[in-house]
Structures are given as C-alpha cells and as structure tokens.
Amino acid sequence: MLTIFGQSPSRFCDSHSRRQFLTIGGLGLGGLALPNLLRAETSRSHKSVIMIFLSGGPPHQDMVDLKPDAPAEIRGEFKPIATNVPGIQICEHLPRLAAMTDRLAIVRSLVGSEGHHAAFQCMNGRTQQNQPGGGWPSLGSTVAKLQGPVTRGVPPFVGLSPKMTTSTWANVGEPGFLGRKYAAFKPNADGVGSMTLQGTTLETLGDRRRLLASFDQLRRDADESLQTADEATRQAFDILTAPKLAEALDLNRESDRVRDWYGRGDPKPAGYGDAGPLMNDYLLTARRLVEAGARVVTLAYGRWDWHGKPHGTTFENAKHHLPVLDRGLSVLLEDLRLRGLEKDVTVLVWGEFGRTPRINKEGGRDHWPQVGCALLAGGGMKTGQVIGSTTADAGLPKDRPVHFQEIFATLYHNLGLDPHRETVPDLTGRPHYLVDGPWEALRELM
C-alpha cells in the first residue's frame, strides 16, 4: 500500500514517524526491494505478461465453445456469431473480440484443474497438493527471482487485485519458497475499486506536481534516517518514491478519451459482493505498468461463479459481464498493438475451471474442473486459431487437451525463460524446474 505524506518535517499525515514509515513501507513491499530483486538484468529483452483471472470459473460453453446443436438444457440461451477467422465462432455478446479473433488463440480444452475455488493454480501453474516447504512460487515471483527489474524503482511483479470477501480469489500470486523479497507489489491490497495512496485515490489524484512534491519532501525528511538504514530499506524506499511507478499508477495521466475507450468500469464488487469489480481501469493500469517496466501484472476481474437464483441465472449475469470484458480486452489488445507492444506482451485470460454442461434448476451452471477455456494474445504467438475441442455437451475434452502446465510453459517461453533448463531453489536448496514433467510450450503457438 503506497502512502501520500503530510508536509510536517517530523511526522506524516497518518501520525506515523519517518522511521515507522520506513518499517511499514518495507513490509508493504513484501521485501521486494532487497538487492537481489533490484539487480537489473540488461541481458534480456523486456517481455511481459498480463494475466486476467476471471474469478469463480467462467462458463466456457457460453463464451468461446458454444454448442448450438445441443439440447436447450445444455446449449443455453446464447447464440454463436462468426468471427473474422473463417470457421471460428464465439458468443454473440463478444462482438468486439469476434472482430479481432485473428489476434486471439482460443483454448477450448483446458484440463488439469484441481477444482479449488481459488486463483492459486492460475497464478502458480501447479496444484496445492503435495507442495514443498514454503509452497510453490507463482509465475510473477519466479520471474522476479530469475530476471529482476527492468527499471529501478518499478517492481517486476505487480498484483492489482483488490481485497475480496473470498480471499482465495484475491490471490495475485504468492512467492512460496522463494520468500517475501519476491512477492508482488500490491498497490490495491487493502482496498476495493480505485487504487489508493493512503486515502487519496488515483481517480482523484489530478495534481501531479503536488504528488511529486510529496515524494521530494519525503526524501528530504528521510535523509537522516536513510543514512543509517540497511540496503533493503533504502531500496524499498526507492520503490515507494519512484516517480515512474507513481506515474504508471496515476490514471489521470491518461486522457478522458483513453479512459472512456477502455470503458472505465465499476469499482463496486461485481455480482453478489464476494469477488472483484469489473474494472477496465485495471486493464489500462496493467498496460501502463508493463510499459513502465513491470514483467508480470496479475488482476482479478469480476465474479463468474454463477449458480443461479436468487443471484441471477448464468445468462443474466453473463449479459452484464461479457460486454464489459469484450470492450476492455479488445481495447487492451488494440492499445498494445498501437504502442508497438503486441509482440512483447502476452495477455492471458482464464479462470480456475469451467462450468457444468447441464444448466441446473436455478438457471445456473455449477463447478466443472473436467474442462475449461483460456484466451491468449500477443507475445509474438501464432494466433487466429482454436486449440482443442470438447464433446458435444462441452463436458470433456475431445481432442488436444491443453494442461495448465502447458500454458505456463508458454508464458515462460514468451518471457525468454526455458522452463526445462531454468531452475529455482526451494528452502532446502533443491532446484525445481519451472514446469513439471513433459509439459512444453504450446507448439501450435510457436
């Protein structure tokens, strides 16, 4: 959590002393400022991943794998529409993405879900069963360990998900056995909606000169304390006061035209209140962060756990969620293209599992770990294709099942890491490859 500071030379506006703040700041960063993390590695190009987690399990058969010939209790209410790639159809409520499907890779046969209602597997690639001491590290923490920052003061791993009632959905990716120094920087960990700087929202932070003056004042005030601080504290301070990071998080630096283009979004929790908001501002922030130097940015998006009444049918909820996602994701991809970032930034959209083939008596679809879906874009990948298929009821993979670990191998490959050569050590010093067993990057995308 960042903090905006008062002008008093002795105390900040929240009544904490300078020395207290340095302690709080170091903890808030999860140790991200330790020397190992802030050692820039200029030998690698700056490749990035933006991971959009659809909290709760998106209905694959109502989004990208429609079954119009199935019985009504399976096919549901939505109709498929043609895309700009001959032979590929997706949901009628995703018209913008249909118009740019040539820039998408649609995975219809995602398998390997452990069935937990949590972001863990999407962030880590592995299941929560039989973890080594300390736990498996997430994609972002692994990349932070192996590649470090691109730009001094900009953390390589940023998690934008806000606090949620269902905390397992708010998981942005934990460092596991790598330790807190490789944890995500979480500018919105304690809030819901617009990211805040200790009570001042980025929505209302229009006076950038005042912001920079606050940072300058803090630096002057803290000089004496920093002279005796250790390296970790000094570098944590560098991140907390880095103008480039503050600027990336300040959406007021974008024009109203761009904000409106993305669709802004609603800061309130989506659905019935236990998940994240539908905030397209987060997608814009993710673009700004990778542009500033972040390597991995994760975020949770909406509430996709639709079991039916009294909280609305799957189709009532989807009619609300899908158009917002359609707009935000399509604009993000176009924005990356216009800025020359399309080949450097991999965008991944997925959830922890799919939904049941048969609609339940309340008009919803229940949890279904047997098969799900994912959307991939950018990263220099071969797009404009569908990978895998499911049975006539969308209940099981029919051909080319794609495992979670294959998706992770693809992400690491796109970041310039060989998942079967690079290793990270656990708490006992034992090295672990980045993915398990035989799983390789998706050959269809290379």
Q: Are 377 and 103 in contact, with CB atoms under 8 Å apart?
A: yes
Q: How confident is the model at residue 181 (pLDDT cuts 50, 70, 90)?
A: very high
Distance CA 435, CA 440 (A): 8
Residue type, 305: D
Q: Provide the residue count of the chain.
A: 446
Q: How confident is the model at residue 212 (pLDDT cuts 50, 70, 90)?
A: low
Residue type, 20: Q
Flag whether pLDDT at 21 surpasses 80: no
Give the pLDDT confidence score for residue 273 in this predicted structure.
86
When mean pLDDT is compared across 68-77, 198-207, 285-294, 366-375, the lowest value belongs to 198-207
pLDDT digits (tens, 9 = 90+) for 285-340: 999 999 999 999 999 999 999 999 999 999 999 999 999 999 999 999 999 999 99
Give the pLDDT confidence score for residue 207 in this predicted structure.
53
Residue type, 316: E
Domain spanning 47-206+261-445, CATH architecture? 3-Layer(aba) Sandwich (3.40)
Give the pLDDT confidence score for residue 234 in this predicted structure.
55
Give the pLDDT confidence score for residue 301 in this predicted structure.
97
Flag whether pLDDT at 5 surpasses 90: no
- This prediction has a pTM of 0.84
H or E element at residue 320: helix 314-338
pLDDT digits (tens, 9 = 90+) for 376-419: 999 999 999 999 999 999 999 999 999 999 999 999 999 999 99
Task: Report the sign of the C-alpha dihedral through residues 112, 118, 120, 122, in that order.
Answer: positive
Flag whether pLDDT at 279 surpasses 70: yes
Q: Are 66 and 89 in contact, with CB atoms under 8 Å apart?
A: yes
User: Does residue 204 sit in helix, strand or coil?
Assistant: coil
Per-domain residue ranges for the chain? 47-206+261-445
Long-range contacts of 83-90 (CB under 8 A, 24+ apart): 85/384, 85/385, 88/385, 88/386, 90/63, 90/64, 90/66
Contacts of 412 (CB under 8 A, 6+ apart): 139, 418, 419, 422, 434, 435, 441
Flag whether pLDDT at 39 surpasses 60: no
Distance CA 192, CA 279 (A): 10
Q: How confident is the model at residue 264 (pLDDT cuts 50, 70, 90)?
A: very high
